[in-house]
Chains A and B, each alone.
Chain A
Amino acid sequence: MVGQIDRRGLYDWIAQRATALIILAYTLFIMAYLFFCPALNYVAVNKIFSHLIMKMATVAAVLSILWHAWIGLWTVLTDYVKPKLIRLILEAAIIVLLLSYLVWVVEIFWGA
């Protein structure tokens, strides 16, 4: 609606940077672990990912990635896909995909 000014752009801007920092910390930790872990086997990986803190960090990182990806992809779609209907369909598909990834992560840690 024209004339209505909200602060969504500002919130998106802050959220994009805040989530970026969370993802950055998690990525660097995982990279360092994979790179410097002496023996990368199932026992070691299972042990580290069974810690509650690691599960919390992973879920926090995945939530951040989903939010960050949504802001980024929304920007890209707004810039490059001009027809409104096609853009709406793509945006809906992206939201469904991102939310399904959240279900996947819950399944990974707390599934049968």
Chain B
Amino acid sequence: MTRSGLHKNISQNRINYLGSLWLSANPRSVSYKNLCLILAKPKTQRYNRRELSPACVFSQQINRMLEVSEKQRPVYLNLAQFHFPPMAIVSICHRISGVLLFLFLPLMLYILHQAVHSADSFAALTLCLQNGFMKFLVWVMLSAIWFHVVAGIRHLIMDLGIGESLNVARASSYAVFVIVAVLMIIMGVWLW
């Protein structure tokens, strides 16, 4: 297989995340032919707890390969092409939305203050929120709230020991994105 063929294979058959971390942590050379054989494996493989996880199998295969590789060549790994599991993306988005909400606290308190202070300040607030940029800010804030709420509920449910298996965790993290996307659309329709 040519170099460009390998390049294509990496992006198409997404490397298992842990396996790729292992590779990036151990940038020892691997022969192209053997690397292609591994990367050509299908993206998802069904396995149960008794079997080895794909990451484990992956690293075992690379270990075996390193023993047999005759040519020592450096391997280029593009970090941007690595596929992160949805659970990891939910987790980092939960953090980002949390930090965003901290930054939005003054806006929330400002809105509350203006809303309850007097009839004049309420009217001023209503006028202020007609502004397109302010509406956008409020929409971003509401989106961050909903993401943090939905992902947080998932987190609490998992703390109770429910849905901790790999397949359920993956499905529920996809569900978080779908629910939040719907809520973001509803918020947008409601604001505009």
Chain A contacts to B: CB under 8 angstroms? 17, 20-21, 24, 27, 35, 41-42, 45-46, 49-50, 58, 65, 69, 72-73, 76, 94, 101, 104-105, 107-109
B113 touches A (CB below 8 Å)? yes
In the complex, the answer to whether B152 meets A35 with C-beta atoms within 8 Å is no
Contacts of B109 on A, CB cut-off 8 Å? 101, 104-105, 108
B40 touches A (CB below 8 Å)? no
Chain B contacts to A: CB under 8 angstroms? 95, 98-99, 101-102, 105-106, 109, 112-113, 115-119, 122-123, 145, 149, 152-153, 156, 159, 190
A-B contact pairs, 8 of them (CB 8 A): A21-B156, A35-B190, A45-B115, A46-B122, A50-B116, A76-B99, A104-B109, A108-B116
Known: A24-B152, A45-B115, A104-B113. A76 touches B95 (CB 8 A): yes
Besides A42-B119, A42-B123, A72-B98, 18 new A-B residue pairs in contact (Cβ under 8 A), listed by A number: A17-B156, A17-B159, A20-B156, A21-B156, A24-B152, A42-B122, A46-B122, A49-B115, A49-B116, A58-B112, A69-B101, A69-B102, A69-B105, A72-B99, A73-B102, A76-B98, A101-B109, A104-B109
What residue of chain B has the Cβ atom nearest to residue A45's Cβ? B115
Contacts of A109 on B, CB cut-off 8 Å? 116
Contacts of B112 on A, CB cut-off 8 Å? 58, 108
In the complex, the answer to whether B159 meets A46 with C-beta atoms within 8 Å is no
In the complex, the answer to whether A101 meets B99 with C-beta atoms within 8 Å is no
Contacts of B152 on A, CB cut-off 8 Å? 20, 24
What residue of chain A has the Cβ atom nearest to residue B125's Cβ? A42
Say whether chain B's binding surface is mostly helix, strand, loop, or mixed. Answer: helix
Contacts of B156 on A, CB cut-off 8 Å? 17, 20-21
Contacts of A101 on B, CB cut-off 8 Å? 105-106, 109
Contacts of A49 on B, CB cut-off 8 Å? 115-116
* A100 CA / B115 CA spacing, docked (Å): 20
Contacts of A35 on B, CB cut-off 8 Å? 190
What residue of chain A has the Cβ atom nearest to residue B145's Cβ? A27
* A95 CA / B181 CA spacing, docked (Å): 33
* A73 CA / B97 CA spacing, docked (Å): 12
* A28 CA / B152 CA spacing, docked (Å): 13
Contacts of A46 on B, CB cut-off 8 Å? 116, 122
| Residue among B99, B102, B119, B122 with the highest chain A CB neighbour number at 10 A | B102
Q: Which 5 A-B residue pairs are closest in the complex by CB-CB distance?
A: A42-B122, A42-B119, A49-B116, A108-B113, A72-B98
Contacts of A94 on B, CB cut-off 8 Å? 102
In the complex, the answer to whether B98 meets A65 with C-beta atoms within 8 Å is no
Known: A17-B156, A20-B152. A41 touches B98 (CB 8 A): no
